[in-house]
Structure 1
Amino acid sequence: MSGTDFQSGREALGARLRELRTEAGLTGKELAQRLRWPASKVSRLQTGRQTPSVGDLEAWAHAAGQPEAIAELKARVAGLETTYRSWRRQLVAGHRARQEQGIAETAATRLTRGVEVVRVPGLLQTPEYARNVFEQNAEFRQTPRDVDTAVRARVRRQEALYDPDKTFHFLLYEPALHARTGPVPVQAAQLDRLMGVVGLDTVRLGIVPLGARLRRAPSHGFWIYDRRLVIVETVNTEMWLEDEASVRLYERSWEWLEQSAVYGRQAQRLIGRVRAALGAV
């Protein structure tokens, strides 16, 4: 999904660049000559096969005799860069920086809603569970292993759960309770933590049972910060969606999934059954 949307946005930007060129009465070869670029670069930018730099956009607009289009072009490419954030770029120095971003977003949010399909939300993770997650991510993405500092940052972010001015509402699809990111004792302690969280007055934890009838099956996890931002994680990117249409769509997804969730003692019993299946540890 994210790759397709990103490419569509890049192609739309390329179409706008081609429009500016044709309005100036220039062929691709003529524009390339003006810019002293290879003709292949003009072709790649116009067809969305290359993401232009800000300097490329400025040069293109001036060469086409339309410098007034620069602000529009910059806004388009900024939208691509801020909406789709590659993990490679975000984790270039390790996981701590991304955790600090999470702390900032949580601090600025009164109502945080999170859906997770195959893992426990970071805000509810025990330190050892988080450690296993960070170690696996670092190995998979081949990024620096700043595991200790990342775990400390994640635990610090969890302090917000005890802020009486904030509300957290989590929906977990039952497979997230079964997926083991580490040894059995780590998994058991994590499930114990979830059962304890049910009693917090700032937290509402819903579990969607495997046998529940679903109005719409959960396809991936996502987070909604108030009604201003949705963050969706994919294998290679995070999508930061701030447009009203996207927020409304994810809110509908939330509402439909919530219809299948159980809460309170029912949620605790479900978690308890998964915990009991692990045996005594």
Structure 2
Amino acid sequence: MTTNPSSSAKQAQQALGVRLREIRRDAGLTGRALAAATGQHYTRVSKLENGVQQPTSDDIRDWCRACAADAEIPDLLATLRAVESAYVEFRRQARAGMKRVLGIRAPTLYEETRLFRIYEHNVIPGLFQTPDYCAAMLSFWSRFLDAPNDLEEAVAVRMERQRILYQRGKRFAVVLEEQALRTWFGDADTQANQLDRLLTVMSLPTVALGVIPLMVQRGAVPSAGFWMFDNQLVALETPTASIEVTQPSEIELYGRMFENLHQVALYGKPARDLITRVASELA
């Protein structure tokens, strides 16, 4: 089920209001007392707490300082940013073509990130894709989203983005499920070439790539793939939306999830052997 973007934003705003009320009550302040301390009318305090109005960043800072809860400011500001841009709809973006969908996040995000942590459960990450694999995958999404046919441009965008793999100072920690090796996009030759590309990328000194076998005891099973850009942002994609997580406490949870996945993945020769075995089955 896909959440309607506007309702998602409203729910997030209401949740932010509930958190502000909890902070005020924990501080032992009434609504009128907080209003006096922050220089605003007490009715606005009620509107903020009930999600009727959206607070500003200054509202949040003043609120937390009046409640001696300065430590809450970073998380609340991140939540506010999430409210302001709760969802970026793929269908709306797709009207401008698949090139626009692939360019939702500013290129500067890739340039500025030093550590990429990537988990994918049923697809090879875009940074490692061959042009044919990428084209086969994007052609499906283009049809599904009824997007304009700009496939060649979209593939070129993704291939250009791969140059960051060779930039100094960047690291790529990647965990794939074995299912990602077995999910076909295109024909058997496309899949075989993609797996060969994966073996090549694994040899890069900047890349640590692990594979979680299908049949293995594990302590964590995520519900979706996700990308972590340093500790600044986590990105997830659903069939109709791109979700960006910026709240520090939530980013920390994704970091813990990634560590759990990393611990059960195969690396080095065992991972290469698994990829080679899957490739041999294509024949």
Give yes or no for the alignment of 1:255 onto 2:259. yes
Q: Report 1:232-271 matches (<5 A).
A: 232-271=236-275
Aligned partners of 1:164 and 1:13: how far apart in 2? 40
Deviations 1:162-183 (A, max 9, x none): 1121111111011000011111
Aligned partners of 2:17 and 2:97: how far apart in 1? 33
Deviations 1:37-73 (A, max 9, x none): xxxxxxxxxx99xxx9xxxx7xxx9xxxxxx979769
Aligned partners of 1:166 and 1:70: how far apart in 2? 32
Q: State the TM-score, normalized to the length of structure 1.
A: 0.75
On the 8 A contact 1:102/1:157 being kept in 2, the answer is: no
Moved more, 78-87 or 202-211: 78-87
Unaligned runs of 5+ in 1: 25-46, 62-67
Runs of 4+ in 1 over 4 A off after TM superposition: 4-7, 10-16, 68-73, 75-78
Aligned partners of 1:255 and 1:2: how far apart in 2? 28
* Structure 1 residue 117: Cα displacement: 0.3
Tell me the residue number matched to 2:119.
115
Alignment equivalent of 1:85, drawn from 85, 88, 93: 88
Paired AA for residue 79 in structure 1:
A
Give yes or no for the alignment of 1:230 onto 2:204. no
Paired AA for residue 107 in structure 2:
I
Tell me the residue number matched to 1:124.
128
Over 3 Å counting, the alpha-carbon distance change for 1:230 and 1:2 in structure 2 is farther
* Structure 1 residue 227: Cα displacement: 0.6
Unaligned runs of 5+ in 2: 20-30, 32-39, 45-49, 61-76
Tell me the residue number matched to 1:139.
143
Q: State the TM-score, normalized to the length of structure 2.
A: 0.75
Over 3 Å counting, the alpha-carbon distance change for 1:218 and 1:232 in structure 2 is same
On the 8 A contact 1:171/1:206 being kept in 2, the answer is: yes
Alignment equivalent of 1:95, drawn from 90, 93, 98: 98
Tell me the residue number matched to 1:23.
43
CA RMSD of aligned residues (A): 3.1
Tell me the residue number matched to 2:26.
none
On the 8 A contact 2:8/2:86 being kept in 1, the answer is: no
On the 8 A contact 2:9/2:84 being kept in 1, the answer is: no
Over 3 Å counting, the alpha-carbon distance change for 1:222 and 1:69 in structure 2 is closer
Aligned partners of 1:69 and 1:190: how far apart in 2? 47
Paired AA for residue 95 in structure 1:
M
Deviations 1:214-262 (A, max 9, x none): 1111321000001111001112211111110111010011011111101
Over 3 Å counting, the alpha-carbon distance change for 1:11 and 1:212 in structure 2 is same
Q: Report 1:1-281 matches (<5 A).
A: 3=3, 6=9, 8-12=11-15, 23=43, 79-100=82-103, 101=105, 103-279=107-283
Deviations 1:55-108 (A, max 9, x none): xx7xxx9xxxxxx979769x8886334242111222220122343436332111
Partner SS for 1:240: strand
On the 8 A contact 1:170/1:204 being kept in 2, the answer is: yes
Aligned partners of 1:80 and 1:242: how far apart in 2? 11
Number of aligned residue pairs: give it: 239
Partner SS for 1:259: helix
Give % identity.
Answer: 35
Aligned partners of 1:70 and 1:192: how far apart in 2? 49
